[in-house]
Amino acid sequence: MSTCAKLQRAEIRIAGKTVYVPSAEIYDRTVVVTGNWLRIAAVKDEQLVQGEIIGDPKAFVARMRRSHLRADILTFAQKIPNTEPKYRYCLQWDNWAATPTTSFSDWWEKRLPQESRKNVRRAAKRGVIVKVVQFDDELVKGIQKIYDETPVRQGRRFWHFGKDFEAVKRENATYLDRSEFLGAYFKDELIGFVKIVYVDRIATLIQILAMNEHQDKRPINALLAKAVEVCESKGIACLLYGKYIYEGNADSALTEFKRRNGFEEITYPRYFLPLSLKGKIAIGLGLHKGLKSLIPSSAISYLRRLRSQFYDRRYAGKESHEDGGPSAEQSVSEKNLTT
């Protein structure tokens, strides 16, 4: 019997856009390939798969070589809490924003500064109610309304603005068998929500979003508190909230917001295995890190400011910047490969 994996096409989303890319089933993992000049293979939604992402890298690569999937580099991460490198492959350190969730009281009393606790209480005093909600058409309509509040969030074009009902429903319906939605309501109106996916004993925030109009009520703070409470009730060890540091920008408002809400940086190794001569050369030159790694951080900061200024001028008055923290989180699954 042939062990050659059949070439397929998988649906993923990159920067909020649905695209179809080459894929193959390798040892019960869906491997997808992205990129043009340098083709990178990765396990689809690797941060959401149960168990080890790749159990035996040598066997995995051997099976990939027998497939019709063509790639130059295979990349995969090592899951927390096992963050000590297990392999001698080329690696670079990546990071998560994480907080323990075995004790809500410890998170509340030992990790949150007084201002953050005040923001959670402020949400309740101003009438915000946070609860677990079912995924149904009513919730989807509420999410769509939040998406369409503003075309700009965090100084950039908002990926989900203007999507139709069916697209919003389809994109939020992934992993429903181990997902949970929390909704923040004000006078029976959904003003914020979070989607949590459970992976082993880890919970991952896939998306957390609130309306700028109600940011003074601190719905994001209330949603995070409820998420920690729910995780404790389920015996979840840790809650992940995307990256702690994006693109090397340790001074971003989003990083500071996560710190003030009890999250800390956990680093983990990401491995890169060459599958072709081109891949080997690219790794040797550091090109596997992406073009942004070749640009000085000062230049990236300058370009980021220009982008924000452009959107500020184009959509004047469309984005709010309250003290309650960022109103949108671009999770790891959105920034990389997602269903």
- Give per-residue pLDDT as tens, 192-236: 999 999 999 999 999 999 999 999 999 999 999 999 999 999 999
**Residue position matching structure tokens 């009513």:** 138
Question: What pLDDT is recorded for position 99?
Answer: 97
What's the pLDDT band for 326 if we cut at 50, 70, 90?
very low
Identify which of 100, 98, 97, 90 has the alpha carbon closest to the alpha carbon of residue 269.
90
Q: Which two tokens stand for residue 332?
A: 């790891």
Taking the C-alpha atoms of residue 231 and residue 98, their distance in angstroms, rounded to an integer, is 13
Both 148 and 229 in one domain: the answer is yes
Instruction: Report which residue type is found at 126.
Output: R
Q: How far is CA 78 from the centre of its chain?
A: 16
Flag whether 318 is in a domain: no
Q: Which residue has the higher pLDDT, 212 or 291?
A: 212
**What secondary structure letter does DSSP report for 249?**
B
pLDDT at position 157, please? 85
Domain containing residue 29: 8-94+270-303
**Are 61 and 120 within one domain?**
no
Answer yes or no: do 113 and 86 share one domain. Answer: no
Same domain, 140 and 241: yes
23 and 130 housed in the same domain:
no
Query: Taking a C-beta distance cutoff of 8 angstroms, is the pair 21, 82 a contact?
Result: no
What's the pLDDT score for residue 137? Answer: 98
In a domain, 257, yes or no: yes
Q: Would 149 be classed as within a structural domain?
A: yes
Residues 111 and 224 grouped into a single domain: yes
Q: Which residue has the higher pLDDT, 254 or 231?
A: 231
* CA angle in degrees (0–180, nearest 5) for 210-338-197: 60
- 103 and 248 share a domain? yes
- 149 and 255 part of one domain: yes
Residues 6 or more apart in contact with residue 44 via CB below 8 angstroms: 10, 12, 23, 29, 30, 31, 32, 337, 339
Query: Is omega for the bond preceding 81 within 30 degrees of 0, making it cis?
Result: yes
Same domain, 107 and 89: no
Strands 90-100 and 264-274: antiparallel
* Residue 2 placed within a domain: no
Question: Looking at the structure, do residues 144 and 247 belong to the same domain, yes or no?
Answer: yes
How many other β-carbons are positioned within 10 Å of the β-carbon of residue 229? Answer: 15
Q: What is the pLDDT of residue 138?
A: 98
Question: Mean pLDDT, the chain, as a whole number?
Answer: 87
Would you state the pLDDT for residue 246? 84
Domain total in the chain: 2
Yes or no: say if 130 and 184 are a contact pair by the CB < 8 Å rule.
yes
Examine the domain organization and report whether 120 and 206 are in the same domain: yes
pLDDT digits (tens, 9 = 90+) for 147-170: 999 998 877 889 899 999 999 999
Domain of 103, CATH number, reads 3.40.630.30
